[in-house]
Amino acid sequence: MQFFTAPCEVVEGDLAGCGPRLFLTGTRVLGGVWDRLIGEARSAAPDSANEVDSVAWIVREQGLRALAPVAPHERLGVLLSLERLADRATFRLDYRIVRDTGEPVACAFMVIGCTNKATGTGAPLPRAVVDFIARGGGYEEPESSPSFIERALVLPDAAETLFPDEVRALGAWVATQVARPATRRHTPTTPLSIPALGELVVPDGRTAFFFPDIDSYDGKLVCELRAYLPYLADYFDQAEEVARRVFRHSFLPLVDSDTLALHDQRLERCPELAHIGVVLTGVLLAESLKEHGIQPHALIGDGLGELAACAVAGATELSTALRLAALRAIATRPSNGNGDGSAAEQFAATLADVRFEQPQLPIVSLRTHGLLTPNGASGWLPLGTSAAVFDVVSAAWAAGCEHVIECGPRGVLSVAARVPAPALQFAADARDARA
């Protein structure tokens, strides 16, 4: 049996002030090995590049079992084997992770599906990828009983059954090879501006995530998130691409600023970058909350926050949400007196062309209080109207939730309340409740 191999390095950081975390086990780290395999398959068949680029990879299921602790900046070897499933559009990836001494560190699996980028429907695996794997001659995990997943996640002797001597030796050798440069960020010595996510306790009940509008932009917070979440660097890369395409300005120097004064100076050159920052901040905080086991049952969006909610709910890709935020920023610039409505027309046309998928969670818009459910109920309008209703608690209760967590700079707030009788109305200042 052969493995597709890749060295990696443990990246240290501090997530939301809750202490050091080692970003070894996240989906994006494991997915990075798969991305490397896809990249090599694409390079091996340049004539099929369009076919490979026409599909998107979606993580459908995953699991991981840690077998030993790891230290910051420790070198590891990742061994990947494959199990092709019956639907022609899905692979199960089996991971064995070994430190440079040969000691097993973790075993994991991830199911990746293939969809057509243009239609969002399931698609067969690109022929270039299938052929590249087949030429390897032995990447597929042999069928066995118990299965890889059972041995990796359920049975007690995973370190012995999945890591024989030859696997340990190969993993140790891979760990000593030259890895791609690890994502390194300066970790601030002070805690995040928001309370520690690790200390956030949400009582039993349904929880809504709230994503605020443009007035919530906080440069300090977005710079801290850049430092504290190095494993989500691709989110920032997407923001950079959108900023360069729409504004002809770079986003990364803004969030890589060493001081808040430098950040503010750079923001003055292109204030619209804040619109991208608002959407990005909401999505990053939602990802962090979910990593801490806090799962939303509904999403509440106000203005730009609706775009963040769409990205978190899977109604659209993050890159699309960021692009709409940037175009909306241009469309809402103060009038120059020329009566030029081309920017607004372009935004409206772009929005009309976006194919929003059915969201995986209900979305409540504060602009209309309409509810978009996974069944596609009407009444939700992206970016709403100008007659906003700022009553977050009422919106959460309307969605059947008892707790609200704000994915914004005013603090990750948890509002606990008992669901009242349907006829009970709430004063406008209910939105300022704090736990």
More confident residue, 239 or 430: 239
pLDDT of residue 102: 93
pLDDT of residue 410: 63
> Do 111 and 213 belong together in one domain?
no
pLDDT of residue 187: 42
Look at residue 187 and tell me if it is in a domain.
no
Look at residue 185 and tell me if it is in a domain.
no
Q: CA-to-CA distance for 254 and 237, rounded, in angstroms?
A: 13
Look at residue 354 and tell me if it is in a domain.
yes
Look at residue 332 and tell me if it is in a domain.
yes
More confident residue, 299 or 6: 299
Total tally of structural domains belonging to the chain: 2
pLDDT of residue 386: 39
Look at residue 181 and tell me if it is in a domain.
no
Look at residue 189 and tell me if it is in a domain.
no
DSSP 42: H
Look at residue 186 and tell me if it is in a domain.
no
> Using omega within 30 degrees of 0 as the cis cutoff, is the peptide bond preceding 146 cis?
yes
pLDDT of residue 419: 38
pLDDT of residue 206: 84
Tell me the mean pLDDT in the region 349-355.
75
pLDDT tens digits for range 38-97? 878 877 777 777 788 788 777 778 788 888 887 767 788 889 998 876 666 788 899 999
pLDDT of residue 271: 92
Q: CA-to-CA distance for 266 and 262, rounded, in angstroms?
A: 6
Q: What's the domain range around 217?
A: 197-432
CATH number of the CATH domain containing 156: 3.10.129.10
Comparing CA positions, the residue from 70, 143, 132, 63 lying closest to residue 95 is: 63
Tell me the mean pLDDT in the region 122-140.
79
Q: Whole-prediction pTM value?
A: 0.55
pLDDT of residue 163: 95
Beta bridge mates, 6: 78
> Do 208 and 322 belong together in one domain?
yes
Of the ranges 8-12, 27-31, 317-321, 388-392, which one carries the lowest mean pLDDT score?
388-392
Beta bridge mates, 190: none
pLDDT of residue 27: 52
> Do 210 and 158 belong together in one domain?
no
Look at residue 180 and tell me if it is in a domain.
no
Tell me the mean pLDDT in the region 206-230.
85
Tell me the mean pLDDT in the region 244-263.
88
pLDDT of residue 368: 60
279: pLDDT strictly greater than 80:
yes
> Do 117 and 213 belong together in one domain?
no
Q: CA-to-CA distance for 303 and 212, rounded, in angstroms?
A: 7
> Do 101 and 30 belong together in one domain?
yes
> Do 108 and 227 belong together in one domain?
no
> Do 313 and 203 belong together in one domain?
yes
Q: What is the mean pLDDT of the chain?
A: 75
More confident residue, 6 or 199: 6
99: pLDDT strictly greater than 60:
yes
CATH number of the CATH domain containing 343: 3.40.366.10
Tell me the mean pLDDT in the region 283-310.
86
Tell me the mean pLDDT in the region 240-268.
89
